[in-house]
Structure 1
């Protein structure tokens, strides 16, 4: 199936009222209480040409004789939530002039955060952009290069993860709306921090989703875990694709963000000659020229396919980076011993060594969890990508929040085991990402929480319990609708000063500092990374003339490597006079080797 040739996405006109409603015979707009008929133009677009859209005006649309007044699908602000009227906003004047020239995020240290739980906020009931600004200096001190925000597009209620958003252009009001976001972006850039936004193009939330009334935004030709797919390849899909491209342009160009993390791109079902992701990649390349700064696209993909990070000119999808879940699974299963679900094929030192040096464990091999052959191999000498093309992490919102109680990996590990696991991630060949609070081994979980209306909320709560009851964990599930589930997930920053938390924070700072000072530790060439398996409990990740020694315990290190110097260590590590490195239990060390 083919589509019309891609065309440049024009800058949005924020001073006029317009809406795409191809199935409607007539559209009425209500602006600050005054109703006016809109004029139908080409391709189902309705406009109100004689009236200027003034920032602050409240408006909504009525289709034909339907009594319901609906918010604008391209609204930038929903003061009264997803069901209320839209508010006119021009985001461009909100941007502060800074000297920010952008940053290439490949190989940098990323930090994922959820605005609502990153800080307690001004009243202790949840964080905002402004309260997050107050903690940006802590991220700079840690050594972070970029902040990745979980979705902020408007979603139902006050609290939630953001993946049930229905306004792909609007900024969630509880966090501070468009003006709060503008202040956050400017504050981050002044500190040298890039800002990436998690966006959801693969589905829309169930509450406040009015797009289907306006036009064929979804199609039953394809199915997703959330129902019908976004219409990327059926009749009228050209305008739907432009809708998504326009949202991306607004965040990157008008708001001034540095990149987008694209949720579950494997659920963007598209049989067009040019996949939507490739079209987006080419559009972003043109916006880089327009803005004069690098812009980054990061894909979350379940396909284990390096074509995701292969340029479009070479037949790929053109993403700059993709999340590497296999690296997470390999480290997590090895250090914890968990083997349930998708961890079934992981856990061995062999699998750990493979993901640390070749990214994918399932690389054209059988996946017992999926029941089929899965993935494709990563070429260590790949012409178009390297280790930095893959985002690696010990924790992220999915791998923590999708557990029954939202418990963190360090809640079941000793500090020394936690130190060993994070060292493999931070000093490996990928682009490392931290998840809020892991750097000090926070006591807070990150649970799944929502704020739906009573009817939908009851279904969500029951479904969550039923999901985990099948695994025998139903009693461990906190009610996602309870405010206490949300507040328990808010980071308690004061605990960073306590001994155990402060020690872990120093370890993370030390590792990031070593990564910055030693080129071998930030080298993305996969050919320069190799792993010596000392035993099932111990590995030596070699990075040029340096190495990361990780021992999960229990008991002593079964085979002692030799080193010229121990640059940093966590746990019972001893460097003997003969150069051998010993551990009496779990721990980690960064070694300067004697050379080959």
Structure 2
């Protein structure tokens, strides 16, 4: 049962089903039961604008609509299942019926996670929750211990990234609904894999959302790129705050989700005395005490501000972690020469070094893209508060042709990128298929039924990316089913040629990360960076007592570089070298023979586009 004084949607308790909806400005509210029998019943208005009615002996699959002011049927704004899509009736869900088997599950600390972002519809041929289960063993064998599901809240049609969800409490019907999601989470926990869920609290989807018929869920005070902002601090905002702050509790309690990744929190506007995120943080902490297990809140933030992960008592938002886009930008521009066209405020080795040692690259400097000085230093924020990545749905899907990194750079650079990410002080996130260099695109796709909306989406995307279109280049139709189908992963590749080598490379990097104690030290004072030879970078990490050292050397140039190992340690032994034979998928005339053990101040030979890691000998 949700730990809140107000109830949203339906709740099945023993033989009684309670319906509740927030509609403070309505004079009437009618519950229209559709199944098991067609019947309309007047609801009673309670405090703060909640209408309620309790009914005995309803079947677990009862379906219904609400009729604001008794005028027209609409789905429940807090519907937990829309079996016929966003325009159809809502269905009661009895959460007591599912037989969970994860009672012994203990969640994984964020700093120990190897995150894996996936889109349910394109991850498998079937595109369902249950189809993912058969692939969990492959992920676990790779070293993945946490999957991050792109949003699964009900959206229009059967193809969508999920960020256009119209019903934040309902699980997408075409993915398998509430039952399918629970089966997936239960199976993940059996495999030792945590589940993070993307949620969207900054806007509601453009099709099938009838919230305005119930109450002031949105406000004209602020604007977002997707339309009206949600009403978190204007008149009648209390009900909206309750609705969205209860949503994390719903996922945690009823679906055993381990954490949420909150989309674009910089578009959640709240200037009230108690910020929405602080309010939500308090509720999550109360649920943790009640259930005796931790829950994670991760932010996608465009603020470059440490306050995102600072506790509320220090004026922060209380998130456990936040995405670090600056890491991606700083590295990508150095790997792909065309990257400068997209991220023209990045491109120096010094910035990449700062990404490793500080986090935010832009920490108060003038940023041309933003036309202002931007950001604050994150030097004091531990690495385990940041989620870094080389690829994610945005960085791939917001390109004209949906190109993955594997479609933009060669294998050597893919190896470099993987090592930079997995040997960093941050929590690493891979995008589905990245572990074996998948090279099918990941386009933006939708399946709206509103023809005007379809055309608006097409024209909007074309306009947004007009400057990136090459002459004669065709922009993929986001509404076309073939656009979606081209994004399906080709799982057979992971057993072939360069794909198999890249998969093994990722496995080895994850194994190294998990086995070496140095990676437990994420405080920035234990890491330093040095640029050498123009495009060489040395990342030096040490343990708290300085007894153990690790040095990662990256050559991002076309020429051979040399680096003298620190003389502070008398002996170094080789952990990793990307030019070793097992990391080459085709014959090469180069014959590099890495030195397995070296003394302090000895010179390391670094071939073009390679990564080498040495650790200090145990004292």
TM-score tier after normalising by the smaller chain length: over 0.9
SS of 1:248's partner is helix
For residues 455 and 165 of structure 2, what CA distance do their matches in structure 1 show?
19
Corresponding residue for 1:508? 506
- Residue 258 (structure 1) shift: 0.5
On the 8 A contact 1:446/1:489 being kept in 2, the answer is yes
2:87 aligns with one of 78, 83, 89: 83
For residues 63 and 341 of structure 1, what CA distance do their matches in structure 2 show?
51
On the 8 A contact 2:115/2:146 being kept in 1, the answer is yes
SS of 1:319's partner is coil
The answer to whether 1:56 aligns with 2:75 is no
Corresponding residue for 2:31? 29
Q: Which runs of 5+ in 2 are unaligned?
A: 543-548, 580-589
Corresponding residue for 1:3? none
Task: Answer with 359-368 or 580-589: which moved more.
Answer: 580-589
Change in CA separation of 1:230 and 1:207 when aligned onto 2, cut-off 3 Å: same
The answer to whether 1:419 aligns with 2:424 is no
On the 8 A contact 2:83/2:173 being kept in 1, the answer is yes
Instruction: Name segments (4+ residues, structure 1) moved above 6 Å.
Output: none
Task: Answer with 563-572 or 294-303: which moved more.
Answer: 563-572
The answer to whether 1:589 aligns with 2:608 is no
- Residue 19 (structure 1) shift: 1.3
Alpha-carbon deviations, 1:19-64, whole Å to 9, x = none? 1112221122111221222222222222223456542001001122
On the 8 A contact 1:147/1:194 being kept in 2, the answer is yes
Corresponding residue for 2:583? none
Alpha-carbon deviations, 1:333-368, whole Å to 9, x = none? 122234546611211100000011100011122111
The answer to whether 1:432 aligns with 2:434 is no
The answer to whether 1:393 aligns with 2:389 is yes
On the 8 A contact 2:160/2:447 being kept in 1, the answer is yes
- Residue 558 (structure 1) shift: 5.1
- Residue 266 (structure 1) shift: 0.4
- Residue 583 (structure 1) shift: 3.3
- Residue 581 (structure 1) shift: 2.8
- Residue 594 (structure 1) shift: 6.8
On the 8 A contact 1:92/1:255 being kept in 2, the answer is no
Corresponding residue for 1:124? none
Corresponding residue for 2:277? 277
Task: Answer with 579-588 or 157-166: which moved more.
Answer: 579-588
Corresponding residue for 1:552? 556
For residues 454 and 4 of structure 2, what CA distance do their matches in structure 1 show?
41
On the 8 A contact 2:563/2:603 being kept in 1, the answer is no
On the 8 A contact 2:86/2:156 being kept in 1, the answer is yes
Alpha-carbon deviations, 1:199-231, whole Å to 9, x = none? 000001110011111000000011111122100
On the 8 A contact 2:340/2:347 being kept in 1, the answer is no
For residues 427 and 466 of structure 2, what CA distance do their matches in structure 1 show?
36
Alpha-carbon deviations, 1:488-513, whole Å to 9, x = none? 11110001111100000000000000
For normalisation by structure 2, the TM-score amounts to 0.90
RMSD after superposition? 2.0
For residues 196 and 443 of structure 2, what CA distance do their matches in structure 1 show?
22
Corresponding residue for 1:38? 43
2:466 aligns with one of 450, 464, 469: 469
For residues 204 and 534 of structure 2, what CA distance do their matches in structure 1 show?
44
SS of 1:470's partner is helix
Change in CA separation of 1:107 and 1:530 when aligned onto 2, cut-off 3 Å: farther
- Residue 65 (structure 1) shift: 4.7
For residues 289 and 151 of structure 1, what CA distance do their matches in structure 2 show?
27
Alpha-carbon deviations, 1:97-126, whole Å to 9, x = none? 3211222223421111111111111xxxxx
For residues 51 and 341 of structure 1, what CA distance do their matches in structure 2 show?
63
For residues 559 and 103 of structure 1, what CA distance do their matches in structure 2 show?
37
The answer to whether 1:402 aligns with 2:382 is no
On the 8 A contact 2:606/2:612 being kept in 1, the answer is no
On the 8 A contact 2:359/2:379 being kept in 1, the answer is no
On the 8 A contact 1:71/1:83 being kept in 2, the answer is yes
On the 8 A contact 2:340/2:346 being kept in 1, the answer is no
On the 8 A contact 1:468/1:477 being kept in 2, the answer is no
The answer to whether 1:455 aligns with 2:452 is yes
On the 8 A contact 2:388/2:427 being kept in 1, the answer is yes
1:565 aligns with one of 570, 573, 576: 573
Corresponding residue for 2:307? 307
1:536 aligns with one of 534, 537, 542: 534
Corresponding residue for 2:350? 350
On the 8 A contact 1:428/1:522 being kept in 2, the answer is no
After TM superposition, the structure 1 = structure 2 runs for residues 112-131 of structure 1, keeping only pairs within 5 Å, are 112-121=117-126, 127-131=127-131
Q: Which runs of 5+ in 1 are unaligned?
A: 1-6, 122-126
- Residue 168 (structure 1) shift: 0.4
SS of 1:343's partner is coil
Alpha-carbon deviations, 1:166-204, whole Å to 9, x = none? 100000011100000000000000111111100000001
On the 8 A contact 1:574/1:582 being kept in 2, the answer is no
Change in CA separation of 1:166 and 1:58 when aligned onto 2, cut-off 3 Å: same
For residues 243 and 100 of structure 1, what CA distance do their matches in structure 2 show?
28
For normalisation by structure 1, the TM-score amounts to 0.93
- Residue 593 (structure 1) shift: 4.4
Q: How many aligned positions are there?
A: 580
On the 8 A contact 1:197/1:259 being kept in 2, the answer is yes
Corresponding residue for 2:110? 105
For residues 422 and 401 of structure 2, what CA distance do their matches in structure 1 show?
26
For residues 76 and 260 of structure 1, what CA distance do their matches in structure 2 show?
18
For residues 606 and 593 of structure 2, what CA distance do their matches in structure 1 show?
6
Task: Answer with 211-220 or 446-455: which moved more.
Answer: 446-455
2:481 aligns with one of 469, 483, 488: 483
On the 8 A contact 1:9/1:246 being kept in 2, the answer is no
Task: Answer with 70-79 or 51-60: which moved more.
Answer: 51-60
For residues 312 and 303 of structure 2, what CA distance do their matches in structure 1 show?
17
